[in-house]
Structure formats: structure tokens, C-alpha cells
Amino acid sequence: MSELDLWKFVAGLGIFLFGLQLLEKAITKMVGGQLRNFLRNQTKNNFTSLLAGTGATALLQSSSVVSLMVLAFVGAGIIEMKNALGIIFGSNLGTTFTGWIVTTLGFKLQIEAFALPLIAIGSMGNLFFTKKKLFFSFSFLLGLGFLLLGLDYMKTSIETLTESFDIDHLRGYSLFVFLFIGIIFTAIIQSSSATMMITLSALNSGIIELHSAAALIVGADLGTTSTVLLGAIKGSAAKKQVALAHLLFNLVTATIAFLSIPLLIALITNYTNIENPLYTLVAFHSSFNLIGIFIFIPLINPLANFLEKRFVKETKKHSSSLHQVPTTITDAALTALNKETKNLLRHVTQLNIKALKINVHQDQRPSLPGNQTALRFSKYYELIKEIEGEALDYGLRLQQNPLDTYTTIRINNVISAIRDAVMAAKSLKDIRHNLSVLRHSNDPNLQKFHQLIHEFETRFYQQAIALWEIKHHSLLSDNLRKLYSENSNFYNQCLKTIYKGSLNSTIAEDEIQISSLLNVSREVFTSNLNLLNSFKSYRLPKQALDAFQDTPLTENGTSTGLAD
């Protein structure tokens, strides 16, 4: 191959990959939201999951984008592992559509006649139109044009090679060599579609024969697993589980396909009307992926159970939901942030129960992942602060994406809920020593004061935990108002108790100062108030928040402004 032809081939490969990337981005931006909804809604069973994965990948022409969505949805708990596997397996079949499209169009038509107008229209549209929908529509045309132009460069450069290349040089190599080349080349360029285009070009030019081309394509399917494997090395448990499933599927499928190359090609040529070797190759590619799907369909459920037991130690990370979902997948990221906020609220509830040393029945305590509740108070509080930091950072990064109004409001409410929840924990942390003094005091007035706090907080947390079971927003709002009011009445009662004890001069001031009692009352009240604020921001949608009137009063008799 001459130096000029070499550069033309490499340029063609680069232009093809760039066009593929533009196409992928444009389609994702234009139909990404609908596609994510489609993947979420069409994963009710294994069969629909397979169809969803096939269709989504055929549309996007990229299994990597579909895999990214699946990883995000699994990490956020939107879809189950077994349904994720169906999508992943279906995406392998979806990638074979690229070969069918290019074989039908790219090797039968004058590619340059289509590529240049597409590039011209697409690039001019990108320059002069900034409106989102139009911009990505022109990006789609530009990407398609570059993809076709890159294919044309690769095809013509390989055709030039045939003029001076003796095919006999390749006939001495076994199919294992072509398999290995397919694996390595695809792992390097990270695109099985590009490997397929090069292989089709070489087959079309007569540089390699059909069986060798088939071995290259089998290797390309194996090579694609490197992308997911590399991304999962330092990833979450869900990423590693999906990567392992992808590897197992491709390894089994590729092994069967490689061992069956002569048989499958003979079946295709003898029992179909396909005579063109290009169509035979893409039919071979689709057929062995289809065989793999038929093998794995009955194994999806047991395989999902097996995978969910692998890498489970990974879930010990503080904010496990967030580590599994990239912020670029907005709806999945918001689901993950909601899930983590819920866990944080429950952690704070459990920590406050520890601080107050109140008796809440085990069945009423909030369910939590892991065994963090066994930690000492200080360690548990540090854990909550770390989760807060991770969740707030995640929420701020999520806000950097283009968001609709609903998502923006929801993220702001969740961030408020996180901050208020941790403030609720801080208030009780700051008075733990005072609560301990009250708890162990021999002074009758202090015992009475502690009993007042203990009894109210026991009732308060029992009712607060019960709020999790209320689904109807109107009923939830009513119960929240009731707790706000009870908390205000409790604070007023604390003040009356303190002042009454002070007037009787029976409080042992060497044991605890009056100012300390006032501080304890205020911090307990503030902790309850922040917990309710957090719960309100997290649980109530915008309409219910806007309608949240009749706000309670603070200790000074002024409005808390909760309706704002």
C-alpha cells in the first residue's frame, strides 16, 4: 500500500468514527428522552427487553450509548438486572443492522454523490441555526455525510491495494489469526461498526475471502467487550455485573460462531437466496448473535441472580446509588438522587433516635441499607456528613445539564431536603451532653423536664416515621401540618416548664444552667422543624408545596415561612 493510500485509509477510518460519533450524539439529543422512557417502559419481561435493546441500538447505531443508559437505570434502581440483561443482549443484535444498511447502500450507490451534499447541508445548518431541534437535525445530516465519506475513503483505498496485493499471502493464515486481529483492532478503535466496514471493504475488494472475514467479525464482537470492561474496572457493582454479563454473552456466542463458521455460511448460502458474499457476511453476523440470544433467553433470570451476588462489597460505598449513575443521564440521575436523599433522611431519623435515646419499636424504625446504625454516634454523624457532601456535589453537577423546569425545581427541593435533614442531626449533636446531664439528673424539676422531652420526641418520631407510609399528598400535607403545630406547642410547653422551675428556684444551677435548658428546648424544636422541612421538600410535589399554607409559628410567635 502506498503512503498516500495509507493516509487515505486512516483518514477514512477517522472520518467514519467521527461521523458515527456525531450521529450518536444527534440522535441521543433528538430522541434521547423518549428513548430512555422507551427503555424503562418496555422492560416488563425478558422478551420486550430484548426487543427494546435491539431497536434502540439499531436506531442509535451505538451499543455503547444503550449500555450507558442501562448502567444508569440499573444503578438508580429503575430497572431490574434481569431486564437490563435483556437490553444488553438485544443491543448485540441491534449492532448488526449497521452492516445491513451499509451493504445495501454503501456498496451499490455512488457514495460521494450522497456524502458531499449531506456534509454541505449539515455543516451550513450547524453554522446558521442555533435552535436546539434544528441544530441537532443538521448534526444528524453532517454525521451521516461524514460516515458515508469515511466509508468511501476506506473502500477506495482498499480497492487501490488490490492492484498490487497478492491474496495468496493471506491464504496461509488460519482463522485464529483473523479472529485475533478482529479482537485487537476493535479493542483499539473501540468500534465494532468500523471493523465491520473495513472487513466489508476488504471482502468487496477480494483481499480476504468470506471465511476469514467471518472470523474477523467474530473477533470484533469479542473486542467490543473491552469498552465495557475498561469502564467497569473502577466502577460500581452494577457496572461490573453488567460488564461480566456482556463478556459472558459475547464469549459464549463468539465461541459458538467461530466453531460454526463453515456450517453457518453453508446454511446461509444453501438455504437462502443470498449469493453476494457481502450479504452472506452480514447475515452470518446477525445469525450468530440471534443464536446467542436464543441460548441466553432461558438463562436470563438465573444469570441475573448469579450476577447480583457478585461484587456485592462495592455497595458499602456511602452513597451507593450515586456512584452507579452518571449525571449525563438526567432522569436516571434524578432517580438516584431521590433514592439517596431518602436513605439520608432515614439515616438522620435513626441518628436522632440514638441521640434522644427514645424507644421506637423496631418495626417502626426506618429500614436502611448496610449496618451503619451499629456505628458509634460520632462515626455515624461523620458518615451522614460524607453522604451529604456527595449528594450535594452530585446535585450541583446534575444542575449543569440542560434541564426542564420540573427537573430544576425537583433538584432544588431535594438539595433543600438534604441540607435540612443534616441540620436536624446537627441540632441534636450539639446538645447531646446536655441531654445526658438531664437524663442522669437527680433534680425533680430536671427529671420532669427530661420526661417532657422524652415523651414528646417518642410520639413525634413514631408519627414522623409513619409519614413514609402515606401516599396521598393531601393526607400527607394534613399530617405534616399537625406535626408542625404539635412541635410548636411542645416548644411553648418547654418554655413554661423552664420558667416555672426558675420561679420556684428549685433547679440546681450547679448541675445545669437555665440558659442551657432554653438552648436544649430550642435545639430540639429546631431539629424537629428541620426534619419536617426536609420531609416536606422531599415528599411533596411542587403543586402540594405551593398549596402548603397555615404555617406553624416559631418560638417568637412569627411565621416560619414554610409555605414559601
Whether pLDDT at 206 is above 90: no
Please state, rounded to an integer, the average pLDDT across all residues of the chain. Answer: 79
Selection from 324, 497, 444 nearest residue 394 by Cα: 324
Same domain, 386 and 448: yes
Task: Please indicate, yes or no, if residue 393 is contained in any of the structural domains.
Answer: yes
What pLDDT is attached to residue 345? Answer: 93
What pLDDT is attached to residue 331? Answer: 78
Whether pLDDT at 496 is above 80: yes
What pLDDT is attached to residue 487? Answer: 93
* Position 107 confidence tier, pLDDT thresholds 50, 70, 90: low
Torsion of CA 59, 60, 62, 68, to 10 degrees: -120
Same domain, 236 and 344: no
Whether pLDDT at 553 is above 50: no
Task: Please indicate, yes or no, if residue 553 is contained in any of the structural domains.
Answer: no
Whether pLDDT at 503 is above 50: no
What pLDDT is attached to residue 445? Answer: 81
Q: Position 224: which residue type?
A: T
Same domain, 125 and 90: yes
414 vs 35, more confident: 414
Query: How far apart are the C-alpha atoms of 79 and 52, rounded to whole Å?
Result: 13
pLDDT tens, 315-370? 444 555 677 677 877 877 888 888 889 989 999 999 999 899 888 765 545 554 44
188 vs 239, more confident: 188
Residue 337 CB partners (closer than 8 Å, separation 6+): 321, 322, 391, 394, 395, 398, 411, 414
Whether pLDDT at 142 is above 80: yes
Same domain, 331 and 453: yes
For the beta carbon of residue 5, count every other beta carbon within 10 angstroms.
18
Torsion of CA 423, 427, 432, 434, to 10 degrees: 170
Range of the domain at 365: 320-546
Task: Please indicate, yes or no, if residue 18 is contained in any of the structural domains.
Answer: yes
What pLDDT is attached to residue 541? Answer: 84
Task: Please indicate, yes or no, if residue 564 is contained in any of the structural domains.
Answer: no
Query: Looking at residues 2-22, what average pLDDT do you find?
Result: 73
Whether pLDDT at 389 is above 90: no
What pLDDT is attached to residue 416? Answer: 92
Same domain, 264 and 397: no
- Give the per-residue SS3 of 249-264: HHHHHHHHHHHCHHHH
What pLDDT is attached to residue 4? Answer: 44
Query: Looking at residues 532-549, what average pLDDT do you find?
Result: 83
What pLDDT is attached to residue 527? Answer: 94
Selection from 414, 301, 330 nearest residue 76 by Cα: 330
Whether pLDDT at 224 is above 70: yes
Residue 553's φ and ψ, nearest 5 degrees, are -105, 150
Query: Looking at residues 92-120, what average pLDDT do you find?
Result: 76
What pLDDT is attached to residue 202? Answer: 83
* Position 561 confidence tier, pLDDT thresholds 50, 70, 90: very low
Query: Own/partner pairs for 364-370, CB < 8 Å, 24+ apart?
Result: 364/462, 364/465, 364/466, 365/465, 366/465, 366/468, 368/343, 369/315, 369/320, 369/343, 370/315, 370/316
* Position 292 confidence tier, pLDDT thresholds 50, 70, 90: very high
Last residue of a domain, one of 294, 314, 334: 314
pLDDT tens, 458-468? 999 999 999 88
Same domain, 202 and 330: no
Task: List the grid coordinates of 502.
Answer: 426558675
Contact between 254 and 180 under an 8 Å Cβ cutoff? The reply is no
Whether pLDDT at 557 is above 60: no
pLDDT tens, 45-99? 778 888 888 887 777 666 666 776 676 667 666 677 888 888 888 888 888 887 8
Same domain, 259 and 291: yes
* Position 111 confidence tier, pLDDT thresholds 50, 70, 90: low
* Position 556 confidence tier, pLDDT thresholds 50, 70, 90: very low
* Position 562 confidence tier, pLDDT thresholds 50, 70, 90: very low
Same domain, 440 and 505: yes
* 372 secondary structure, DSSP code: G
What pLDDT is attached to residue 103? Answer: 81
Same domain, 251 and 305: yes
Same domain, 299 and 384: no
Whether pLDDT at 249 is above 60: yes
Selection from 554, 548, 454, 443 nearest residue 506 by Cα: 443
What pLDDT is attached to residue 309? Answer: 78
What pLDDT is attached to residue 231? Answer: 57
Task: Please indicate, yes or no, if residue 161 is contained in any of the structural domains.
Answer: yes
Spell 486-508 as b/e; 16+ CB within 10 A means b: bbbebbeebbebbeebeeeeebe
Task: Please indicate, yes or no, if residue 551 is contained in any of the structural domains.
Answer: no
Q: Which CATH number does the domain housing residue 454 bear?
A: 1.20.58
Contact between 49 and 87 under an 8 Å Cβ cutoff? The reply is yes
Contact between 346 and 278 under an 8 Å Cβ cutoff? The reply is no
What pLDDT is attached to residue 254? Answer: 92
* Position 425 confidence tier, pLDDT thresholds 50, 70, 90: very high
151 vs 450, more confident: 450
Task: Please indicate, yes or no, if residue 272 is contained in any of the structural domains.
Answer: yes
Task: Please indicate, yes or no, if residue 560 is contained in any of the structural domains.
Answer: no
Query: For cell 432515614, what's the residue?
Result: 346
- Residue 27, helix vs strand vs coil: helix
Same domain, 390 and 415: yes
Last residue of a domain, one of 314, 336, 369: 314
Number of domains the chain is built from: 2
pLDDT tens, 14-32? 887 787 678 667 766 665 5
Same domain, 339 and 451: yes
What pLDDT is attached to residue 456? Answer: 93
Q: Is the dihedral of CA 219, 225, 229, 231 positive or negative?
A: positive
* Position 43 confidence tier, pLDDT thresholds 50, 70, 90: low
Please report, for residues 212, 392, 513, the alpha-carbon distance to residue 446 in angstroms, rounded to integers and kept in the order given: 89, 40, 11
Query: How far apart are the C-alpha atoms of 505 and 445, rounded to whole Å?
Result: 10
For the beta carbon of residue 117, count every other beta carbon within 10 angstroms.
12
What pLDDT is attached to residue 564? Answer: 29
* Position 526 confidence tier, pLDDT thresholds 50, 70, 90: very high
